[in-house]
Amino acid sequence: MSESASTSPAHQASRRRTFAVIAHPDAGKSTLTEALALHAHVISEAGAVHGKAGRKSTVSDWMEMEKDRGISIASSALQFEYSPEGHAGEPYVINLVDTPGHADFSEDTYRVLTAVDAAVMLIDGAKGLEPQTLKLFRVCKARGLPIVTVVNKWDRPGKPPLELIDEIVAEIGLQPTPLFWPVGEAGDFRGLARLNTDGEVEEYIHFIRTAGGSTIAPEEHYTPDEALEKEDTAWETACEEAELLAMDGAIHDEELFLSCTTSPVIFASAMLNFGVHQILDTLCALAPSPGPRSSDPKVVEAASSAIDDHRDVDGEFSGVVFKVQAGMDKNHRDSLAFMRIVSGEFHRGMQVTHAQSGRSFSTKYALTVFGRTRETVETAYPGDIVGLVNAGSLAPGDTIYAGRKVQFPPMPQFAPEHFRTLRAKSLGKYKQFRKALEQLDSEGVVQVLKNDARGDAAPVMAAVGPMQFEVMQARMDNEYNVETVTDPVPYTVARKTDAATVPALAKQRGVEVFTRTDGELVALFGDKWRLQFITKEHPEFHLEPMVADD
């Protein structure tokens, strides 16, 4: 990273744009991630080519399952510098987090959303708002994350653009405000009409295709009059549609964008690299830079000694762990704790304190991670994402700090909906099985539930989606050489309970009580009707939904 004129945390934070790319599976998230890196000149050629049969794995996909299936299973953090066209000052620092698209990994995506300042929501131009897209839109809105909407795959046949805009308004109540409107219908993507803040068309950006879309698409810029001569009715249609939207009030307002009332819209084709640098330019111009974060109010209230109630970006160092991941490199049997810098300046090797345990440790091994590529990071600032190597005591949601204590709110967990026991095929592998289980549990791959009746050899795995079990088994096999077997259990609903309720609850038919690794008592029920019956018969039972607090 280049030297900055100022190393103050506040100045460095102002240069940062930290965002996640989120969408429904197969909307093109990983392809867009790579296209953005291509336009920032981090890579010279995109790794995705036409057609999944010949598709290379993108640089952000590192797990064998990801390469085999062509989907992202784990989130991946990329950092690079970028200067918009005509930008005279220091380059922006982009912290981009690609997330799993599959609904089975919603919990991993949710964790990422606690670590970013904005989101790029990718919509397939042919499919529109799909169930996972809707869910993630709502999570972003509930968390107060500004959203930039990108309609992707406009080089393929799809819905009319005005229909997509109406769909967003009707389904989620978010007002789209187009900044770049497509010239040419879906499947005939010629370029983009750039709109100003009053919704008026200012220029036409015409894209020129490259072989396989593997390099940056050249652009030609035309005035509105030149565009009319070049594109005729396609340009007229684009201008008419833009005018209709402006008359309807679909005009960008920064305050409404930051309050998640409106969402700037850009049409693009990540596969062809059309509209990609317009996305980066929009994020640099409009997305918020890192801001202050408040401490967990429960911790502040209960503290017997002084604790900071929040941290400004220019305060003492603090960071929050949002993901722990092992097995990213078979040559390094280590784990990485991905930390979002919240405040202050991070120096590799600095002594920090783990808020949850009070223990002190050194950050000697700190990395930035680009897919499988690792680079040592010496200094980082608010908004940056740093991987701490072999920080075994850290878990998602943990706070680390220097100076006065600060502790940020814990990371909520999604309610599990799928349950299976897990056991090693060979009894001789029990020791490795337990070690692997402890590691993957600490990462939050699944929730691990145990009780005395079942013992430690066959704990119950609780997951949001069944594919999480496949990831668990694949990683146990690949990283620990432990083949495992899963067996179904007759439960479909989970609730948190307390010690006072357990004795009577455990006597109920169709219920089993477990202890989660973090000490939480969890009751599993055969189905929702069984839960309803027990709740009605025993209103005194403490049964709390296991739902993420968003």
The SS3 assignment for 211 reads helix
Nearest to 449 by CA among 466, 463, 461: 461
pLDDT of 331 reads 55
* Residue 56: predicted pLDDT: 45
What is 2-66 written as a DSSP string? PPPS---HHHHHHHEEEEEEEESTTSSHHHHHHHHHHHTTS-SS-S--SSGGGPPPPTT--SHHH
pLDDT at 442: 75
Q: Residue 102 above 60 pLDDT?
A: no
Of 387, 392, 401, 449, nearest to 422 (Cα)? 449
Longest dimension (CA), the chain: 80
**Shared domain check, 440 and 423:** yes
Please, what is the end-to-end C-alpha distance for the chain in angstroms?
35
Residue 28 structure tokens: 């093109």
- Asked if residue 349 belongs to a domain, the reply is yes
Establish whether 99 is an annotated binding residue: yes
Task: Name the range with the highest mean pLDDT among 70-84, 439-453, 530-544.
Answer: 530-544
Same domain? For 279 and 306 the reply is: no
60 pLDDT above the threshold of 90: no
Tokens of 280: 């980066």
Residues 6+ apart with CB under 8 A from 361: 351, 352, 354, 391, 393
- Is residue 199 exposed (0-12), middle (13-18) or buried (19+ Cβ within 10 Å)? buried
Q: Does residue 36 share a domain with residue 107?
A: yes
| pLDDT of residue 417 exceeding 50 | yes
Give, as one character, the DSSP assignment of residue 458: S
pLDDT (tens digit, 9 = 90+) per residue, 264-289?
A: 999 999 999 999 999 999 999 999 99
The answer on 342 and 273 residing in a single domain is: no
Residues facing 96 on adjacent strands: 19, 78
What per-residue confidence (pLDDT) applies to 440?
81
Does one domain contain both 100 and 217?
A: yes
Is 332 annotated for ligand binding?
no
- Integer Cα distance of 285 and 83 in angstroms: 11
Residue 51 inside a domain? The answer is yes
Tell me, yes or no, whether 75 and 184 share the same domain.
Answer: yes
Domain boundary among 224, 258, 286: 286
pLDDT band at 3 (very low <50, low <70, confident <90, very high): very low
- Which pLDDT value is given to residue 281? 96
Within-domain flag for 412: no
Residue 98 marked ligand-binding: yes
pLDDT at 290: 97
Among 262, 286, 310, where does a domain finish? 286
302 in the same domain as 278 = no
Position 164 in a domain: yes
Let me know if residue 3 belongs to a domain. no
Euclidean distance between CA atoms 318 and 399, whole angstroms: 7
Query: Where residue 520 sits, what CATH number does that domain have?
Result: 3.30.70.3280
DSSP result, 239-282: HHHHHHHHHTT----HHHHHTTSEEEEEE-BTTTTBSHHHHHHH
Is residue 435 left, alpha or beta, with left meaning phi > 0 and alpha meaning psi from -120 to 50?
alpha
In whole angstroms, what is the distance from residue 29 CA to residue 70 CA? Answer: 11
Q: CATH number, domain at 36?
A: 3.40.50.300
- Write the CB contacts of 427 (distance below 8 Å, at least 6 apart in sequence): none
Burial class (CB in 10 A: 0-12, 13-18, 19+), 476: buried
For the chain, the average pLDDT equals 86
* pLDDT of residue 240 exceeding 60: yes
Tokens 């929730």 -> residue? 447
Q: Which of 4-13, 58-67, 255-264, 466-475 shows the lowest per-residue confidence on average (mean pLDDT)?
A: 58-67
The last residue of a domain, from among 286, 312, 332:
286
* Mean pLDDT value of segment 451-476: 87
Q: 10 Å Cβ neighbour count for 183?
A: 26
* 3-state secondary structure (DSSP) of residue 228: helix
- pLDDT of the residue at 43: 75
Compute the distance between CA of residue 160 and CA of residue 314 in angstroms, rounded to an integer.
47
**Model pLDDT for residues 210-239, shown as the tens digit of each residue:** 988 889 999 999 999 999 999 999 999 999
> Mean pLDDT over residues 249-254, rounded?
93
Q: Does residue 293 surpass a pLDDT of 60?
A: yes
Is the model more confident about 302 or about 450? 450
Residue 441 shares a structural domain with residue 516: yes
Least trusted range by pLDDT, from 122-126, 376-380, 478-482, 514-518:
478-482
**CATH (domain of 302):** 2.40.30.10
Answer yes or no: do 199 and 347 share one domain: no
In a domain, 408, yes or no: no
Regarding whether 185 and 92 lie in a shared domain, the answer is: yes
Q: How confident is the model at residue 25 (pLDDT cuts 50, 70, 90)?
A: confident
Domain co-membership, 191 together with 333: no
Is 206 annotated for ligand binding? Answer: no
Give the pLDDT mean for 456-467. 87
Give the pLDDT band (50/70/90) at residue 523: very high
Beta bridge partners of 293: 311
Structure tokens at 446: 């699944």
Lowest mean pLDDT among 36-40, 312-316, 366-370, 468-472: 366-370
Mean pLDDT within 40-45: 77
- What is the count of structural domains for the chain? 3
Residue 88's pLDDT band, with cuts at 50, 70 and 90, is confident
Structural domain that includes position 525: 418-545
329 has a pLDDT exceeding 80? no
Confidence of residue 66 (pLDDT cuts 50, 70, 90): very low
Type and span of the H or E element at 360? strand 360-362
Q: Is residue 529 part of a domain?
A: yes
- Is residue 27 in a domain? yes
pLDDT band at 371 (very low <50, low <70, confident <90, very high): low
Q: Is 252 marked as a binding-site residue?
A: no
Q: Are the CB atoms for 79 and 94 separated by under 8 Å?
A: yes
Assess whether 280 and 301 both reside in one domain.
no
Question: What dihedral do alpha carbons 449, 327, 26, 216 form, nearest 10°?
Answer: 150
